[in-house]
Structure 1
Amino acid sequence: MATLEEEFTLSTGVLGAGPEGFLGVEQSDKADQFLVTDGGRTVVLYKVSDQKPLGSWSVKQGQCITCPAVCNFQTGEYIVVHDHKVLRIWNNEDVTLDKVFKATLSAEVHRIHSVQRTEPLVLFSRGAARGLEALLTEPQQNIEAVIPDEEVIKWSEVFMLFKQPVLIFITENHENYFAYVQLCKSHTLSKYTLLLGKQENTVKPNFTARLDGKFISLVSLSSDGCIYETLIPMYSSDTEKNQRLGRALMLKAVVSGGARNGLALTFLDQDHIAVLGPPLPASKDCLSIWNIKFQTLQTSKELPQGTSGQLWYHGEILFMLHGKCLTVIPYKCEVSSLASALGKLKPTQESGTHSMPHFVNWETCSGYELGSCSAEQSKTPRRKKIETNLQPEVPGFKQLLLIIKKDSEKHIEVELRKFLAKSTPDFHTVIGDIVAGLLGRCKAEQSFYPRNCLMQLIQTHVLSYSLCPGLMEIALEHRDVQMLQLCLQQFPDIPESTTCACLKLFLSIADDCLRDITINVESVFDYSDVIQDGEEEMEEQTEIAQNGFSPEDSGCSKDSQQLSKKAGDATQETISFPVTSCPVSPKRATLLNAVLHSAYSEPFLLPHLKDIPAKHITLFLQYLYFLYLKCSGNATMTLPGKSPPTVSQIMDWICLLLDANFTVVLMIPEAKRLLLNLYNFVKSQISIYSELNKIEVSFRELQKLNQEKSSRGLYSIEVLELF
């Protein structure tokens, strides 16, 4: 999913947006500082987190800045061009641009591009490009014309490909569009004709691009409101000049087809794109984020004051002109995957832990039988193939597979440890083949179960369920809860049926068996001393400290209280509620927490939950209710320990269990008091949220009054009575 956070406006006292907005917003050498160039004479350096300018520089009256200012990341200096040919370079200590370094060039400059790890690149209006250092050595050097006189540059961008700058720019000539790709170090230039369609005659298309393997993915926002993609080869064929490139539909009807102004788009990452424009005819401008992999709208924000059709993206910040003000909108985009589209992803791993690759990148893993990927992904396929044939096999791999087939578990464990120590087990299929060999022998020999070897392989952090589908089944047969817990923590693609099978085992295994198993219980170290024993003490504490929840809420009906008494009498010999302590042991709680963290899709999970015995469902509900009481007793609504379940996960699983087994649970005497407490809790929470909604509405009305009222030079005190 993608989210747009609260927007804010940068100070506009220094800048003045022209009729076409600003010239540009560029990153400086500091992560939080940006250069904003207006359409006239001024460049301002802003610190976004403080929402204030750090410096402002202007050219003299009568001069005009003609391309956005950029930062030279190698020196920390700033560069700008005014009056098309005059180049200025300065730093933070300089006060006025009139006294800084000046160089008059022999040709007009279209744009200066500056990216990390290389010198700035100057693109001239006739298509020639020069590095800044070579240009400053001889400012009046002759600049050749690359494009015909009739063509005009409409858009340009620079990418870094294997430490080499790649320049792409789009030109227009009588409503025909051309793409030029220049590899700056090798000085090779390729020209392509873009077939954008006849409908482009009415409005100029908007472009954005990204690197996609050996191609540049050029994306255009068309006049029909759709987004199209054109793949431009990085290396042109020698036999064909000026190739014609068609386009393919990427997203349909993202903006109104009748819109003519205020349109823009930009790539945010490999899977998300931001679009600026009205979504429907006669509607207001809107900023939206689309997932191009799954063709879905992620989020949007209406812009009632209109825009200039300019959109800049740096890091996780979007810049745009909203009305006459430069608006900043932070955003976040999660990793796009089928799990996030259909189900729920596992939470992000904590910093400092080993990052686990979820999926195999088959494009970079040709020659997998050798056990390692090519170290340089930049090599051409022909060169890769030649080097693959010349490379020796990874030492010990095939020998290890032979050892797995016939030797003892102890010998296999020793050889596997040696293999992992001398190899770099980054390649998924090598580890997958080893696991497959071990599992194949497990199925052939019932007495063979190399547990230590399998645990070593799981801890390489490169396995997934789809790579070794039989691993968890073998662990379930041997009731190996420690291995299952490790798989639940690391595998991102476990089927819901297997997750439920693990849950059944975790709920049914005896405490005596768990006592002999080594399980890290750091995540539940504080579960035992949450609530004092004794129902009266429990009731007194929950009345005070559980975010407005009281099990014996005064707002409950008399019938509910009578039912509570009856349920309490019926369960005196079984289990009494409210819960006075954690209903499961710390080791079992740790295993259940692994299930709570697992990814799932609700439609596929519900049928399997119906197969769990009623007494185990009740025990799991008791544990979930206990966790929720613990969260409710904490002002931050969080649990202690390492990677504890979240409130959302706890509530989701309570809902899942009740949806799948409500009739069965309702017939169990031990669960009646639990259901009543859950009912009372939900009732109290509804009351709390109702009051919070009233407060929110009151504050909104107050905000509207403050916006409508002009308080220039006045001072007043207002008292708002909410109750």
Structure 2
Amino acid sequence: MAALYEGYTLCGLAPAQNLSNSGIQGIETERDSDYVVVTDTTRSVTLYKVSDQKPLSSWTVKQGQTLTCPAVYNSQTKEYVAVSDSKVIRIWKEEDLLLDKAFKATVSSDVWRVHCAAGGEPVVLFQRGAVRLLDSLLSAPQQPIEEVLSPEEAISWSTIVVTETQQFIIFTTEQKGDTFLYLQRLNPNTLQRYRLERQEPGLTPLSFSASYRDKHIRLLYLYSNGNVYQSVVSVRGLVADEGTQALPLPRSLQLGLPVGDGQLEAASAQVLDEAHVAVVGVPHPSAGAGKDFLCIWNTNFQTLQAGKEMAGKIYGQLWSYSNKLFIPHGKTLSVIPYECPKSSLASALGKLRQAKIEESKAPTLVPSWNNILHEEKAHPSRTAETRKTRTTRKSQSASSLTSDQVLELIKTAPIEEVQKEVEGLLSRMDIQDLQTSVGQLASTLVSRSLDDPAFYTPSSLAQLVHTRCLCHSVCPDLVLLALERKDYFLCQLCLQFFPDIPEAVTCACLKAFISMSDADAGQVSLEPDSVSFMESLMARELGPAGLQNGFSPNAMDEDHSDDTRAENKEKTSTPPEQICPVGLYKAALLNEVLQTAYSDSFLLPHLKDLSSQHVVLFLQYLQFLYLKYSQESFPQMHGLRSPSLTQIMDWVCLLLDAHFTVLVMTPEAKGLLKSLHSFVKSQVRLVSELGKIEGSLQELNKMKTKKEVGKYSIEIIELF
């Protein structure tokens, strides 16, 4: 099944005053998939390295001038090409600082767009439909440019498509309610015109996307009523220009997206592969109105594969490069990695068998959740068998209510009946769209629970989370409801299975977990693996000579003074940091927070809401984990729910960044900060030594070995 992963911010936006425009004119790839060129709608072009989320270079035209065409990168000459004021073509290199001093040429007709395929020569498309290769145009910039379009016809969208041996410039135009498609082949130079079938009166496509596959160019376009169509044109047998004659272009309906009562205003559909389409600006089937989502749909089986709520206004813009989606929303340009495995019926219905590691985890744990909630201390194997038998018996005798009937029943029926029918519905295998049904069920259950304090179905909600077809974007109030009802087991499940929990909700969970007493935490039934990990961790004593990850708790820093050495020698009792500062179950919940995905810039503001006492306690727990991980005898139990050493160190840095001033002025934090400083220095020293080893190994790798070595030889290798 397709998936959307945790995104990150590439840059901020400066949208127009009326918020109708994101401020971005275009995004193009540069030297490789990790570099993009972003052109704003006014004066600037900026080069970004995507993985580092930072700009490398930026160029701006003079005040009063405007960039009217997104900049492209010519990989042949390693130059950038853009157009200002519709007629001035500008070409520059990365080392050029000022655009005004770089090469520029004025042409005789207005330019619509410059396109450049990877490894190809830039192609200039003029507003009246003419096409020129950049080099031939620059040889005579004032050459006359013919008019291909009729007087009332205007270009609305264009792109470049590369086949095995040719390049095609594809553009669409609009004229009096009609939409036309032009295919311009560059070598040999031929042009073909097609007329798209008309939609309802007054409806024109909101977005276009083109792809090439199996000797055919496939055009995908989205209308404001939610219909997504595809038209297919063969690249073979394209004839020369036949004047104004337009051939009819058949279409097939790929998707009928839900739009609610109104029409779409700012939406876009982007082809990802032969079976998947990314859509932005279309309501999610399980979410309420007024929420903007990025979704991936499977066109083969008409199913929603993944969804992610986007904060802020959607502008109907979407770009896709190298399994990353670039989407402007609100005042942010976000990068959302995605994955689209090969389409099959099993994956579309969420029934595709996963890797062996996942198979070994999920099936053995799913049946036991209901028993754990009711504190049945049954043997795991016997519990699973009993639950399986009970589920089979219920599924055979339960009435076959449809998903819509169960949704109506949830609104008024008693708790016992609701839990029975939801469990029966999930146990049947005839649900057509599991992901959509699960989202609707969860939203309806949460909605009634919020309205009626006496209604709450923890077991049903836990089962819905365990389907792995639910995420925070689909049901954003679920985690907050669990916190309100103090259902920490459900909170733990959501933290484990939801890939898109916002940083504000993560901090709300952290605050709730660290605020409750160890006695209250001990009464909570939690996921067994997380508890088993902490039990094994607390049962081990710190070895006196343990040394791992470059740190030994008894080792002294080389640059300590003599007074500090004497002071440390006097301490013979067990250091308090070797004792876990929180209880077993409380620690298991905190570990779930440590393993939740986050973005530093979004998490830090919410961390500032923690009190100084909670920050000190959390830091003490992180220090305890670090010391345990540093033991030489500590086994890395990958099969259990446990945070990594990197996650522990990252959270230490986050807490110190958010509360440094408060901690410095808090007397009880003085010793803790000194201890944290020591093992942060040890990590720095370890990384430094690893760097030296890496350099030595690289030098060894560069050495040329002799092809013929005698029976006996001596080699001397010097490492610097």
| TM-score, normalised with respect to structure 2 | 0.50
1:346 Cα deviation from its structure 2 partner:
7.9
Q: Contact 2:192–2:239 at 8 Å: present in 1 too?
A: no
The separation in 1 between residues aligned to 2:590 and 2:198, in whole angstroms, is: 53
CA 1:282–1:109 in 2, change beyond 3 Å: closer, same or farther?
A: same
The separation in 2 between residues aligned to 1:316 and 1:306, in whole angstroms, is: 23
Q: Contact 1:274–1:290 at 8 Å: present in 2 too?
A: yes
The separation in 1 between residues aligned to 2:245 and 2:283, in whole angstroms, is: 39
The answer for the alignment partner of 1:490 in structure 2 is: none
Q: Contact 2:257–2:282 at 8 Å: present in 1 too?
A: no
Q: 1:31 aligns with which of 30, 33, 42?
A: 33
The separation in 1 between residues aligned to 2:300 and 2:81, in whole angstroms, is: 38
CA 1:272–1:707 in 2, change beyond 3 Å: closer, same or farther?
A: farther
Give 5+ residue unaligned stretches, structure 2. Answer: 357-374, 383-427, 430-524, 534-584, 612-656, 673-720
Instruction: Specify the SS of the correspondent of 1:111.
Output: strand
Q: Does 1:221 align with 2:213?
A: no
The answer for the alignment partner of 1:5 in structure 2 is: 5
The separation in 2 between residues aligned to 1:168 and 1:274, in whole angstroms, is: 21
Deviation per residue, 1:57-115 (Å, 9 max, x gap): 00000000001000012111101100000011011110010000011111111011111
1:206 Cα deviation from its structure 2 partner:
1.3
Q: 1:248 aligns with which of 252, 256, 274?
A: 252
The answer for the alignment partner of 2:294 in structure 1 is: 287
Q: 2:315 aligns with which of 300, 305, 308?
A: 308
Percent of pairs identical after alignment? 41
The separation in 2 between residues aligned to 1:558 and 1:80, in whole angstroms, is: 69
Q: 2:529 aligns with which of 666, 685, 692?
A: 685
Q: 1:320 aligns with which of 313, 321, 327?
A: 327
The separation in 1 between residues aligned to 2:36 and 2:660, in whole angstroms, is: 36
The separation in 1 between residues aligned to 2:591 and 2:225, in whole angstroms, is: 44
The separation in 2 between residues aligned to 1:172 and 1:48, in whole angstroms, is: 35
The answer for the alignment partner of 1:167 in structure 2 is: 169
Give runs of aligned pairs for residues 499-648 of structure 1, distance below 5 A: none
Instruction: Specify the SS of the correspondent of 1:249.
Output: strand
The separation in 2 between residues aligned to 1:683 and 1:3, in whole angstroms, is: 25
1:275 Cα deviation from its structure 2 partner:
0.2
The separation in 1 between residues aligned to 2:338 and 2:154, in whole angstroms, is: 34
Give runs of aligned pairs for residues 421-500 of structure 1, distance below 5 A: none
Instruction: Specify the SS of the correspondent of 1:209.
Output: strand
CA 1:321–1:684 in 2, change beyond 3 Å: closer, same or farther?
A: closer
Q: Contact 1:264–1:309 at 8 Å: present in 2 too?
A: yes
Q: Contact 1:207–1:218 at 8 Å: present in 2 too?
A: yes
CA 1:67–1:702 in 2, change beyond 3 Å: closer, same or farther?
A: closer
The separation in 1 between residues aligned to 2:609 and 2:376, in whole angstroms, is: 45
Read off the aligned partner of 1:716 and give its amino acid letter. Answer: V
Give 5+ residue unaligned stretches, structure 1. Answer: 349-555, 564-601, 604-680
Read off the aligned partner of 1:231 and give its amino acid letter. Answer: V
The separation in 2 between residues aligned to 1:707 and 1:322, in whole angstroms, is: 26
Instruction: Specify the SS of the correspondent of 1:60.
Output: coil
CA 1:17–1:74 in 2, change beyond 3 Å: closer, same or farther?
A: farther
Instruction: Specify the SS of the correspondent of 2:137.
Output: helix
Q: 1:716 aligns with which of 655, 658, 662?
A: 662
Q: Contact 2:86–2:112 at 8 Å: present in 1 too?
A: yes
Q: Contact 1:17–1:39 at 8 Å: present in 2 too?
A: no
The answer for the alignment partner of 1:231 in structure 2 is: 232
1:211 Cα deviation from its structure 2 partner:
1.8
CA 1:73–1:683 in 2, change beyond 3 Å: closer, same or farther?
A: closer
1:2 Cα deviation from its structure 2 partner:
1.4
Read off the aligned partner of 1:143 and give its amino acid letter. Answer: I
Instruction: Specify the SS of the correspondent of 1:308.
Output: coil
CA 1:242–1:339 in 2, change beyond 3 Å: closer, same or farther?
A: same
Instruction: Specify the SS of the correspondent of 2:125.
Output: strand
Give runs of aligned pairs for residues 68-79 of structure 1, distance below 5 A: 68-79=70-81
Q: Does 1:105 align with 2:107?
A: yes
Aligned length: 398
Instruction: Specify the SS of the correspondent of 2:257.
Output: coil
The answer for the alignment partner of 2:508 in structure 1 is: none
Instruction: Specify the SS of the correspondent of 1:10.
Output: strand
Read off the aligned partner of 2:264 and give its amino acid letter. Answer: R
Deviation per residue, 1:473-492 (Å, 9 max, x gap): xxxxxxxxxxxxxxxxxxxx
CA 1:683–1:183 in 2, change beyond 3 Å: closer, same or farther?
A: closer
CA 1:707–1:135 in 2, change beyond 3 Å: closer, same or farther?
A: farther
Q: Contact 2:218–2:232 at 8 Å: present in 1 too?
A: yes
The answer for the alignment partner of 1:458 in structure 2 is: none
The separation in 2 between residues aligned to 1:115 and 1:308, in whole angstroms, is: 26
Larger Rg: 1
Q: Contact 1:154–1:171 at 8 Å: present in 2 too?
A: yes
The separation in 2 between residues aligned to 1:285 and 1:100, in whole angstroms, is: 42
Q: 2:124 aligns with which of 122, 125, 143?
A: 122
Read off the aligned partner of 2:253 and give its amino acid letter. Answer: L
Read off the aligned partner of 2:61 and give its amino acid letter. Answer: V
Deviation per residue, 1:610-650 (Å, 9 max, x gap): xxxxxxxxxxxxxxxxxxxxxxxxxxxxxxxxxxxxxxxxx
Deviation per residue, 1:562-598 (Å, 9 max, x gap): x9xxxxxxxxxxxxxxxxxxxxxxxxxxxxxxxxxxx
CA 1:325–1:682 in 2, change beyond 3 Å: closer, same or farther?
A: closer
Read off the aligned partner of 1:2 and give its amino acid letter. Answer: A
The answer for the alignment partner of 2:143 in structure 1 is: 141
CA 1:704–1:101 in 2, change beyond 3 Å: closer, same or farther?
A: closer
1:167 Cα deviation from its structure 2 partner:
1.4
The separation in 2 between residues aligned to 1:41 and 1:287, in whole angstroms, is: 29
The separation in 2 between residues aligned to 1:102 and 1:180, in whole angstroms, is: 29
1:159 Cα deviation from its structure 2 partner:
0.8
Instruction: Specify the SS of the correspondent of 1:309.
Output: coil
Higher mean alpha-carbon deviation, 77-86 vs 246-255, is at 246-255
CA 1:558–1:136 in 2, change beyond 3 Å: closer, same or farther?
A: closer
Read off the aligned partner of 1:55 and give its amino acid letter. Answer: S
Instruction: Specify the SS of the correspondent of 1:6.
Output: coil
1:9 Cα deviation from its structure 2 partner:
1.0
The answer for the alignment partner of 1:16 in structure 2 is: 14
Q: Contact 2:608–2:659 at 8 Å: present in 1 too?
A: no
The separation in 2 between residues aligned to 1:198 and 1:181, in whole angstroms, is: 25
Deviation per residue, 1:233-263 (Å, 9 max, x gap): 4344689941122322111225446243230
Q: Contact 1:225–1:256 at 8 Å: present in 2 too?
A: no
Deviation per residue, 1:447-495 (Å, 9 max, x gap): xxxxxxxxxxxxxxxxxxxxxxxxxxxxxxxxxxxxxxxxxxxxxxxxx
The separation in 2 between residues aligned to 1:5 and 1:320, in whole angstroms, is: 14
Q: Contact 1:224–1:256 at 8 Å: present in 2 too?
A: no
